[in-house]
Amino acid sequence: MSQRAWVEHLMGMPISIHVRCPDPSARDITRAVAAAYAELARMEDLFSIWMPSSQVSRLRRGEIVLSQCDPLITEAVRMGVKASALTAGSFTTKLPDATGELRFDPTGLVKGWAVDRAGTALTGLPGASWCINAGGDILAGRHRYVEPKGNDARPWRIGIEDPMDRSRITQVVPIVEGAMATSGTAARGAHLFDPIASEWSDRVASVTVLGTELVWADIWATALFVGGPTTQSAFTAFAADNPGYSWTTGPE
C-alpha cells in the first residue's frame, strides 16, 4: 500500500486529504480528491461569514431571505435548532457579531458538515482508505472491501494536544473509520460562545469527541466545552442518547 497527501487552504485553514491504496496517483483517486475539495469550496462559498458574497453573509445583511437561499442553508438552520435542543442549549448558531448583536452564524457546524459531505467522494474508491484533516478535526474512512483490521487498514494515528502545553501530545487515538473533533481555546483563544452564560468561554482546556459523523462530533465537542465545568447539562444530555460517540477532556 502506498500513501499520498494533498493540501489546500479553505475555510481559513489548511485541509489535507490522505489516501492509502495500491496506486494513489491513479486517475480515479485524483478525480475523487478534486471532487472532495470542490465540495469543501462550495460549502465555503455558501456559508462563509467572512466572504461578503456568500449567501450567509447576504442573509445576515438582509439582502436576501432564507427562502431565496440554497436548500443547504435551510438545512443548516434546522441542524442548529436540533443541536441546541440535543445539547440542552449548550450549542447555538446564533452568535454575537462585532456589535454584540446575535446573528445566524453556522460556523460551528459547517466545517464538520462540509468534511462529511466531502468524504462521500472518497468512500467508493476501490481498495482505498483515506483521512481528511481540517484544522485538527478528522474524518477517516475506507472502502467496504478494505478490512477494518490488518496491514491494509493501518489506523491513522491522531495526536491530541495538551491545551496547557501545545508542544506536548497527551494522547494518540488510532482511527480506521470515523470522526474526531476537538474544541478548546489553546489555539484560537476565546472563540467558543456559551449561549447559556451569554459569554465567550476563555478557560484553557479542551474536549475531544469521537463518533461516526464529524458534524456531530464537532457540535458535541463545542457543547461539552462550553457546558462545563460550571454546568453539567451538556454532559447529562450527551450521556442520555449518543451511541457510537465518546469524549475525553484535556487538563484544566
Residue 168: CATH number of its domain: 3.10.520.10
Cell (9 digits) for 215: 458534524
Q: Considering just the CA atoms, what is the radius of gyration of the chain in Å?
A: 18
| pLDDT value at residue 18 | 97
- For the ranges 32-36, 75-79, 87-91, 210-214, the lowest mean pLDDT is seen at 87-91
Q: Domain count for the chain, please give it.
A: 1
Q: What number is the average pLDDT over the span 205-222?
A: 94
Q: Which range scores top for mean pLDDT: 26-40, 94-108, 179-193, 238-252?
A: 26-40
Q: How confident is the model at residue 39 (pLDDT cuts 50, 70, 90)?
A: very high
- For residues 185 and 163, the answer to whether their CB atoms sit within 8 Å is yes
- For the ranges 50-59, 192-201, 240-249, the lowest mean pLDDT is seen at 192-201
Burial 172-202 (b: 16+ CB within 10 A, else e): ebebbbbbbbbbbbbeeeeebbbbeeeeebe
Q: Which range scores top for mean pLDDT: 19-23, 238-242, 248-252?
A: 19-23
Full domain range(s) for residue 101: 2-249
